[in-house]
A and B are shown apart, each in its own frame.
Chain A
Amino acid sequence: MNSRYVRLGVLWLLLLTVPWWLPLVGGYTQLGTRVLVYALAAMGLNLLLGFTGGLSFGHAAYYGLGAYGVGLTLKYLAPSTPLALVVGTLVGGVAATLLGPTLMRRRGVYFAMITLAFGQLFYFIVVRWNNVTGGEDGLTGFVRQPLHFGHHVLPLHDVAFYYLVLFCFALATAIMGILLRSPLGHTWVAIRENRRRAQFLGIPVERYVWASFAISGFVTALAGGLNAMLNNFTSPLDLYWVLSGDFVIIAVLGGMRSFWGPLVGAIIYLYAQDYLSSLTDNWQSFIGLIFILVVLLFPRGMLGMLRMKARSA
């Protein structure tokens, strides 16, 4: 038990000091921010995928809706960073919540396919509605605004923005951690382990999966909103199904049975993407190869493997 707190302490210490140590190992703060954003999106997805056993292949849609929610709020509604984040999170999260009941009746591969198809709906809406969303070119013309604390104004340059993202990350992971320790979280795991048995115990499985889907949508939307602020830009690629695949591989790569797995996955995946795309034009093939190798050789992901080793030692 103690070693767990030590590890958590080290993790948070490392996360809090990223702006100092990341440049020393050849990174830059924005890369750290990007890792956190992807990790947050994948952790949101993993609440559904790893802890409830529902494979959504359309989470990019909620991520992208969060991003467009933020962008459009900043551009047309009010120049306020907190308001934009709230709106973005709500847009994506509410969309997931409303779609939930239509999706819940199906399971397994078919659930994956149906979430995938619904995700594309939002993609086409954004692409076609170009006088508002900027169409294929993406949404520009908004910048993240300084934070106001009473009379004190905090400009969000790279490092300060990293801490804003870290704050959101901490908030979301705390909520998810608490939920997973609650009876609700245990019910999710029970559904993942044996859906039919859970049903026979009288658990309204569909409603629980819906809750998981909705919460995971909110978290992923928050990540999307943060990403829009990070780049001061968002494009339809933020809702495209290929990005959904990225989130799933990040969760699996890190270990989808582990709470912190997606963070590890995001670090490895984004680094690999960065490195490979600087190395070769055919980086897409190598990314595909990573997908295949992870599935065939490391199905438990990095943290899953470490845990196995620790147990057998």
Chain B
Amino acid sequence: MELLLYDAFNGLIVGMFYALMALGLSMILTLNSVVNMAHGGFLILGAYLAFTLEPYLGFWGALVAGPVIAMVFGLIVERVLIRPIYKREDPVYSLLLTFGLALIMQDVARTIWGPAGLPFAIPDALNSPLSSSFFFLTGYRAVVVAIAFFAVVGLMLVMRYTRIGIRIRAGIRDLETVSGLGVNIYVLRAVNFGAGCLLAGLAGVLAAGQLGLTPTMGDSLIMPSFVAIIVGGVGSFLGSVLGGLLIGVAAGVMTTYYPAASDAVIYGIMALVLIVRPRGLMGQEGMFE
């Protein structure tokens, strides 16, 4: 029982990373119509820069700086590389472009920081368990859950109540009409892309403290995040978040019973959802159908 709880909680933590990734991916997918294969690249960018800056800024400073730099880089990439190809209708181009970018970012990270794993130091105060009976519930994990929770809730509030958030949601529904109403959709898409990269960077720093840093960590987190979007339902941000948590916990629980299938179970859930409810758990009607 204790083991199950331990694995499930581990899964929940990893699911938080999936959820943050999936949320950003989903925003970029729906508004920018880009499958951002470089999302894992932005994740490692945020994580490694936080690692490098930590000695100067401290843990909390790095936790802010890493994602912000990922966002700034994302804004540059969007402006320079992605904006010129929005008008091409075939999705193959944006996919190949971000795929190439992902290859470069991973290779650069490997060249600068080396292929071996690096430890991302977290404050001692966060390293000890909160309670002696639940040894796995460290302060850091509680912080991860809290930060991820506030990031998601904050984003939901922005999407719901601010002008830019409402415009983004409207743009997802019908970008042409939003543009016709006088909204600068170039700015809208740039903001959206930057926000997605910010989330990727945040996931990267948080994951680095939990799992350590490797150049391939983006790779291993991006695929389950795609699955999270499919399971949660494209077009629903809450769906992506819940999808991420669900597959994270499912993979964690599977570790207890049948470790060999812990990766495959994610895809099993995806197949099941697609058969029973093709648009995903909370997916909206008419998106990409």
CB pair A116–B226 under 8 Å, yes or no, is yes
Q: Are A109 and B35 in touch, CB under 8 angstroms?
A: yes
By secondary structure, the B interface counts as helix
Q: Does chain B have a CB within 8 A of A307? A: no
Complex contacts, B261 vs chain A, CB 8 Å: 128
Distance from B194 Cβ to chain A, minimum over Cβ atoms (Å): 19
The CA-CA distance from A209 to B96 in the complex, in Å, is 22
Of A10-18, A77-85, A152-160, A286-294, the one touching chain B: A286-294
CB distance from A148 to the nearest CB of B (A): 39
**Residues 248-264 of chain B, each 1 if its beta carbon lies under 8 Å from chain A, else 0:** 00000000000011011
**A108 contact set on B, CB distance < 8 A:** 33, 91, 288
Chain B residues within 8 Å of A294, by CB: 96
Contact B96 A282 (CB under 8 A): no
CB of B93 within 8 A of CB of A295, answer yes
Could you tell me if A284 and B99 are in contact, using CB atoms closer than 8 angstroms? no
Please encode chain A, from 99 to 133, with 1 for each CB lying within 8 Å of some chain B CB and 0 for all others: 00010011111111110111011001101110000
**With known contacts A110-B287, A290-B100, A291-B100, A102–B275 Cβ distance under 8 A:** yes
A108 to B271 alpha-carbon distance, docked (Å): 19
Q: Which of B215-273 contact A (CB under 8 A)?
A: 223, 226-227, 229-230, 234, 260-261, 263-264, 267-268, 270-271
Q: How far is the CA of A31 from the CA of B68 in the complex (A)?
A: 46
User: Is B146 in the interface zone, CB < 8 Å from A?
Assistant: no
Q: How large is the interface on B (under 10, 10 to 19, 20 to 34, 35 or more residues)?
A: 35 or more
Q: Is the CB of B264 within 8 A of A252?
A: no
Q: Which of B127-186 contact A (CB under 8 A)?
A: none
User: In the complex, which of the residues A128, A248, A281 contacts B96, with contact meaning CB atoms closer than 8 Å?
Assistant: A248
Stretch at the interface among B45-53, B56-64, B105-113, B200-208: B105-113
Interface presence of A65 (CB below 8 A): no
Q: Is the CB of B97 within 8 A of A124?
A: no
CB within 8 Å for A288 and B107 given contacts A113-B229, A117-B270? yes
Question: Please, how many angstroms separate the alpha-carbon atoms of A114 and B29 in the complex?
Answer: 12
Is A296's CB under 8 angstroms from B99's CB? Answer: no
Given contacts A113-B229, A120-B223, A296-B85, contact A256 B92 (CB under 8 A): yes
8 Å CB contacts to A: which residues of B96-128? 96-97, 99-104, 106-108, 111
Identify B85's interface contact among A111, A249, A284, A295, CB under 8 A.
Answer: A295
User: A282 contacts B111, CB within 8 Å?
Assistant: yes
Chain B nearest CB: distance from A296 CB in Å? 7
Known A-B contacts A121-B271, A128-B260, A295-B100; the reply to A248 vs B85 at CB < 8 A is no
CB of A55 within 8 Å of the partner chain: yes
B63 to chain A, nearest CB (A): 28
Cβ contact within 8 Å between A124 and B100 = no
Cβ of B288 and Cβ of A109 under 8 Å apart? yes
Q: Is the CB of A117 within 8 A of B223?
A: yes
Which of these, A113, A118, A289, contacts B100 with CB under 8 Å? A289
Residues of B within 8 A of A110 (CB): 29, 234, 287-288
B215 to chain A, nearest CB (A): 10
Is the C-beta of B278 less than 8 angstroms from some C-beta in chain A?
Answer: yes
A49 close to chain B: CB less than 8 A: yes
Confirm or deny: A169 has a beta carbon within 8 angstroms of a beta carbon on chain B: no
Q: What residue of chain B has the Cβ atom nearest to residue A299's Cβ?
A: B93
Q: Say whether B263 contacts A113, CB under 8 Å.
A: no
Q: A288 with B100: in contact, given A107-B288, A109-B33 (CB under 8 Å)?
A: yes
By the criterion CB–CB under 8 Å, are A285 and B108 in contact? yes
| Neighbouring A residues of B197 by C-beta, 8 Å | none
Please judge, given known A-B contacts A108-B288, A109-B34, A292-B100, whether A124 and B267 are in contact too, CB under 8 Å. Answer: yes
Q: Are A106 and B264 in contact (CB under 8 A)?
A: no
CB of B270 within 8 A of CB of A288, answer no
The residues of A that contact B108 with a CB separation of less than 8 Å are 285
Given A111-B288, A288-B101, A291-B100, are A49 and B271 also a contact pair (CB < 8 Å)?
Answer: no
Q: How far is the CB of A240 from chain B (nearest CB, A)?
A: 10
State in angstroms the CA–CA spacing of A124 and B251 once bound together. Answer: 13
Bound complex: CA A285 to CA B108 (Å):
7
Whether, in the assembled complex, A38 has its beta carbon less than 8 Å from a beta carbon of chain B, the answer is: no
Which residues of B are found within 8 Å of A116, using beta-carbon distances? 35, 223, 226
List A contacts of B106 (CB < 8 A).
Answer: 284
Residue pair B97, A296 in contact (C-beta under 8 Å): yes
Min CB distance, B26 to chain A, in Å? 10
* Contact residues, A124-149 vs B (CB, 8 A): 124-125, 127-129
> A135: nearest residue on chain B (CB-CB)?
B260
5 A-B pairs with least C-beta separation: A291-B100, A288-B103, A110-B288, A288-B104, A121-B267
With A121-B268, A292-B97 given, name 5 new contacts (CB 8 A). Answer: A110-B288, A117-B223, A118-B271, A129-B260, A296-B84
